[in-house]
Structure 1
């Protein structure tokens, strides 16, 4: 993986901490909207981490595949990912 590992790990650790906090909120019977807002915040962080990873994948792996003439596999991979995202 060629993504910025420090940045990715920071984002993932932040998300993990927030998930622990959400779990405590549920145990404490906190207000539903507050819990929901925290869940959305974690989703946003995970999206940022995923975007960084996908960007690095496009800049390295996909670029190399196109240069080497092996683009079909990478195109299929991206289409498969897009299908998951758009469900």
Structure 2
């Protein structure tokens, strides 16, 4: 599976979200909840980076190997859309 690392990180993030929910339900200290959420955000960012890295290593690389200008442009436009979205966040 090409997204194994990202999948592990997402599953860990899911556990951290569950932990944050429980902390809120138990009315735990705000800073402790905040730290839990920041750790989750970090994992999600890392998983996102892994997905993009694999996309470049596989899909974009395959498109450039095909030498099909239309396919290459599609892949580049997809990456541009992601980067534009990242600038907004």
- TM superposition outliers: structure 1 runs of 4+ over 6 Å: none
| 2:2 corresponding residue in structure 1 | 2
**RMSD of aligned residue pairs (Cα, Å):** 1.4
Deviation, structure 1 residue 10: 1.9
Q: TM-score, normalised by structure 1?
A: 0.88
| 1:43 corresponding residue in structure 2 | 41
Q: How many residues align?
A: 85
Q: How does 1:1-87 map to 2 (within 5 A)?
A: 2-3=2-3, 5=4, 7-68=5-66, 69=68, 70-87=71-88
Aligned equivalents of 2:45, 2:65: Cα separation in 1: 28
Deviations along 1:37-74, one digit per CA (max 9) or x if unpaired, are 11110011111111111111101100111122221101
Q: TM-score, normalised by structure 2?
A: 0.86
Deviation, structure 1 residue 2: 2.6
Aligned equivalents of 2:12, 2:21: Cα separation in 1: 14
> Match of 1:86, SS?
helix
